[in-house]
Amino acid sequence: MEFNNVNFDTYFKNYPNEEGYFGKYGGAYITPELKKAMDEITEAYFTICKSRKFIDELRRIRREFQGRPTPISHLERLSNYIGDVQLYAKREDLNHTGAHKLNHCMGEALLAKYMGKKKIIAETGAGQHGVALATAAAYFGMECDIYMGSVDIKKQAPNVARMKILGANVVEVTHGLATLKEAVDAAFEAYSREYKDCIYCIGSVVGPHPFPMMVRDFQSVVGFEANEQFVRMTGELPDAVTACVGGGSNSAGFFAGFLNYPVDIYGVEPLGRGTKLGDHAASLQYGEEGVMHGFNSVMLKDENGEPAPVYSVASGLDYPSSGPEHAFLRDLGRVKYDTVSDDEAIDAFFLLSRMEGIIPAIESSHAVAHAIRLAKQMKHGSILINLSGRGDKDMDYIIEHYADRLK
Ligand SMILES: Cc1ncc(COP(=O)(O)O)c(C=O)c1O
């Protein structure tokens, strides 16, 4: 399928290019020292990860440890409640550890093992990536340092406890807004010091090349599985697919399975409290081109051109940029990006819980809210939601802030 002069039959061969660019977005804006480390990872990725041995081992891990393939559920009661459009969910909440993050963590940690690294390092926002990486570290017997902002440590206490139980070292980051951006800054700094013995396992399709490509490729299992399962289940493709976008990993992997098909694709960003800078984290909607964390993409900027403070009720979505591939797909028009506010996401959180018996992560609730809005506009057809994670990690926050809705 061709779309605005991009041939999607050969898309994964051509995007990103050798320097890690999706059009003008991507690349590696880092020190020569770190560039050497990234080149080592790129080289290892293309040799090790494409080998039969690696592919077979990762497939076995996905099947026997992660519980893949995850199912697709027909959200029948919710669909009937809204109208005639049929809603479905790809259940990444049922992936081991409760979110999609484990898909790339097991891939990255397996690569680290093949490269002879003894330690893995990363940042985390909602704690899902941290838990997934701590899980991978325990599975492969590696040391693991997770950098996390103090605001998120407080908000996501159960995930902090899980990381510690799994044997990871949680490093608190206190500067700035003390959320995801600062955690990435601190993890990168640590990696620059320790790169010879460890590997940085980034939590999304962001950072310098090869991370946006590598994380997308590991996550694409979700999209390819979902395409095949949906057709087997219903006899046709979904009319639309939708996923939430923070850094953009669950969406990039999910979209990968549908880019080359006649399916409308939607990415959903967090509108938080509103459109004012500082009240949301919708970088694809309101950002401009800019470089941060070693890659060129869209970015929400303050008056000095620095990454602006961002906010979302979902810790995993409050990042001032998005992966370069998303910026590219947005410019191309192949994926449409929309926003959902905190209030809409929380309403969807309770609706899905009460109509389907599925408690979603607040991040994933953004995609659910968007699908509900879309279903009302479409009148008929089908929508497949990527339910990127479950809401267990959000229980304390919901109990504290939405006690009135629990009566
Ligand atoms: C359940 C869940 N969904 C989505 C996200 C957002 O990340 P990404 O945009 O990389 O998928 C997170 C991040 O922590 C998450 O925990």
The residue whose CA has the least distance to atom 16 of ligand 1 is 128
The residues with which 89 forms a beta bridge, in sequence order, are 73, 385
Q: Report the alpha-carbon distance of residue 5 to residue 176 in Å, rounded.
A: 42
Please tell me the distance between residue 392's alpha carbon and the centre of ligand 1 in angstroms: 14
Tokens for 169, please give them: 């070292």
Instruction: Give the DSSP letter of residue 295.
Output: E
Q: Report the alpha-carbon distance of residue 359 to residue 364 in Å, rounded.
A: 10
Please tell me the distance between residue 93's alpha carbon and the centre of ligand 1 in angstroms: 11
Question: For 29-62+101-211, CATH number?
Answer: 3.40.50.1100
Backbone φ and ψ of 306, nearest 5°: -90, 160
Cα-only R_g, the chain = 19
Q: Which atom of ligand 1 is nearest to the CA of 205?
A: 10
Report yes or no: 212 and 20 within 8 Å, Cβ to Cβ: yes
List ligand 1's pocket residues with C-beta within 6 A: 99, 125-126, 128-129, 204, 244-251, 316-317, 361, 363-364, 388-389
The residue whose CA has the least distance to atom 14 of ligand 1 is 316
Please tell me the distance between residue 334's alpha carbon and the centre of ligand 1 in angstroms: 21
The residue whose CA has the least distance to atom 4 of ligand 1 is 363
Report yes or no: 47 and 67 within 8 Å, Cβ to Cβ: no
Element (H, E) at 123: strand 119-124
Mutate to test the pocket of ligand 1, among 90, 93, 96, 100 (most ligand atoms within 8 A of CB): 100
Structure confidence at residue 126 (pLDDT): 82
The CA-CA-CA angle for residues 56, 134, 39, to 5°, reads 60
**333-361 pLDDT tens trace:** 999 999 999 999 999 999 999 999 999 99
Q: In the predicted model, what is the mean pLDDT of residues 25-53?
A: 95
Report yes or no: 278 and 312 within 8 Å, Cβ to Cβ: no
Residues 6+ apart with CB under 8 A from 33: 192, 195
**353-396 pLDDT tens trace:** 999 999 999 999 999 999 999 999 998 999 999 999 999 989 98
Q: Which atom of ligand 1 is nearest to the CA of 245?
A: 9
Please tell me the distance between residue 211's alpha carbon and the centre of ligand 1 in angstroms: 16
Report yes or no: 320 and 346 within 8 Å, Cβ to Cβ: no
Mutate to test the pocket of ligand 1, among 388, 392, 394, 395 (most ligand atoms within 8 A of CB): 388
Q: Report the alpha-carbon distance of residue 285 to residue 305 in Å, rounded.
A: 17
Residues assigned a catalytic role: 101, 123, 388
Structure confidence at residue 407 (pLDDT): 85
59 pLDDT band, cuts 50/70/90, is very high
How far is residue 231 CA from its own chain's centroid? Answer: 24
| Of 359, 16, 24, 375, residue with least CA distance to 214 | 16
Q: Report the alpha-carbon distance of residue 281 to residue 350 in Å, rounded.
A: 22
The residue whose CA has the least distance to atom 7 of ligand 1 is 246
When the pLDDT of each residue in the chain is averaged and rounded to a whole number, the result is 96
Q: pTM of this prediction?
A: 0.96
Structure confidence at residue 156 (pLDDT): 86
Any idea of the CA torsion for 257, 260, 262, 267, to the nearest 10 degrees? 50
Structure confidence at residue 20 (pLDDT): 98
Place of tokens 């206190």: 174
Structure confidence at residue 214 (pLDDT): 98
Lowest model confidence (mean pLDDT) among 184-188, 257-261, 282-286? 184-188
Q: What percent of the chain has pLDDT over 70?
A: 100
The residue whose CA has the least distance to atom 1 of ligand 1 is 389
Burial class of residue 36 in the structure, from the number of CB atoms within 10 Å of its CB (0-12 exposed, 13-18 middle, 19+ buried)? exposed
Structure confidence at residue 379 (pLDDT): 86
Mutate to test the pocket of ligand 1, among 163, 249, 319 (most ligand atoms within 8 A of CB): 249
Instruction: Give the DSSP letter of residue 38.
Output: H
Q: Report the alpha-carbon distance of residue 112 to residue 60 in Å, rounded.
A: 17
Side-chain-side CA neighbours of 75 within 13 Å: the count stands at 34
**Amino acid making up residue 39:** D
The residue whose CA has the least distance to atom 13 of ligand 1 is 316
SS3 of residue 297 by DSSP: strand
Instruction: Give the DSSP letter of residue 333.
Output: T
SS3 helix, strand, coil % of the chain, rounded to 5? 50, 20, 30
Domains 29-62+101-211 and 67-98+219-406 fall in the same CATH topology: yes
CB 143: neighbour CB atoms within 10 A? 15
On the question of pLDDT at 192 being above 90, the answer is no
Q: Which atom of ligand 1 is nearest to the CA of 249?
A: 10
Q: Report the alpha-carbon distance of residue 262 to residue 313 in Å, rounded.
A: 33
Start-to-end CA span in the chain (Å):
51
Please tell me the distance between residue 5's alpha carbon and the centre of ligand 1 in angstroms: 31
Q: Which atom of ligand 1 is nearest to the CA of 219?
A: 11
Side-chain-side CA neighbours of 136 within 13 Å: the count stands at 33
Structure confidence at residue 295 (pLDDT): 98
Q: Report the alpha-carbon distance of residue 10 to residue 317 in Å, rounded.
A: 30
Q: What percent of the chain has pLDDT over 90?
A: 92
Report yes or no: 365 and 229 within 8 Å, Cβ to Cβ: no
Please tell me the distance between residue 33's alpha carbon and the centre of ligand 1 in angstroms: 30
**219-239 pLDDT tens trace:** 999 999 999 999 999 999 999
The stretches of 180-323 forming alpha helices (DSSP H) are 180-194, 211-234, 249-256, 283-286
Please tell me the distance between residue 32's alpha carbon and the centre of ligand 1 in angstroms: 30
Which sequence spans correspond to the domains of the chain? 29-62+101-211, 67-98+219-406
The yes/no answer on whether domain 67-98+219-406 falls in CATH 3.40.50.1100 is yes
The residue whose CA has the least distance to atom 10 of ligand 1 is 249
**238-271 pLDDT tens trace:** 999 999 999 999 999 999 999 999 999 999 999 9
Peptide bond into 16 cis (omega under 30): yes
**288-329 pLDDT tens trace:** 999 999 999 999 999 999 999 999 999 899 999 999 999 999
